[in-house]
Amino acid sequence: MVDLPYWTVVNLLRGILSPVCRIEVRGTRQVPAGPWILACNHLSHFDPPLIAGAFSRPIDFLAMRELFQPASFGFLMRSCRVIPVGRKQADTKALKTALHRLKVGRIVGVFPEGGLRAGKTSVLEGAPLTEGVSLLSSRSGCPVRPAVIVGSDQLYVGRNWLRRPRVVIAVGEPISAPRAKEDRKGWTDQLAREMRKLYAEVKRSHRLEDVVLPKTPQERWKAGR
């Protein structure tokens, strides 16, 4: 697969977002080539371009099918190798596409929280993950690397674009694919624990202030920051 369109779009978005936020990374430049799966928490609609720009290798994200409209935006998404997935039911087509991407050596990015999450609804604060990532990992045999993004939700407030808020993106060590008879829920819970562990390390090592810590868009809008 040719990644020229991917990097063209990623570099364009990086050029737009870099002046309005300070992006700090941990481990993202040292990741190996695929195949493997990236599993990250999901705070805002800004996450995919911010994460893509933080890594030195292309990532084929799964994204809700609704985001492929209008057609012009759908063309842009497909140019970046984004895989459309249905929200409400098991999407076998998306699964087959993701498995094929892994088979040919790609990195597939997923947000296993099932949508935008902050506070008690987020894996970072103890909420469970969906088990789709364990299915993708077990079917492909590919390891999963936990990742966290913190601070991207600050971009929901317009005035924050002027003060260049901190956004931290970190990736952890890989977790082997579930064994044939391994409990899928138990494996998913292990991934959730690793994501929370990585989040705790990031908070400590980057000395994150309260304003950077995850909040819902509604909390951001109410506080104005």
pLDDT digits (tens, 9 = 90+) for 86-98: 766 678 899 999 9
Asked if residue 2 has pLDDT above 80, the reply is no
Mean of pLDDT over the chain: 92
Question: Looking at residue 225, what is its pLDDT?
Answer: 87
Higher pLDDT, 80 or 40: 40
Concatenating the DSSP letter of every residue in the chain gives ---HHHHHHHHHHHHHHGGGSEEEEESGGGPPPSSEEEEE----TTHHHHHHHH-SS--EEEEEGGGG-SHHHHHHHHHTTPEEE-SSS--HHHHHHHHHHHHTT-EEEE-TTSS---GGGSGGGTPPPPSHHHHHHHHHT--EEEEEEESGGGGGSTTHHHH--EEEEEE---BPPPPTTS-HHHHHHHHHHHHHHHHHHHHHHTT--GGGS---HHHHHHHT-
Question: Looking at residue 116, what is its pLDDT?
Answer: 93
pLDDT digits (tens, 9 = 90+) for 166-208: 999 999 999 999 987 778 899 999 999 999 999 999 999 999 9
pTM of the predicted model as reported, rounded to 2 decimal places: 0.93
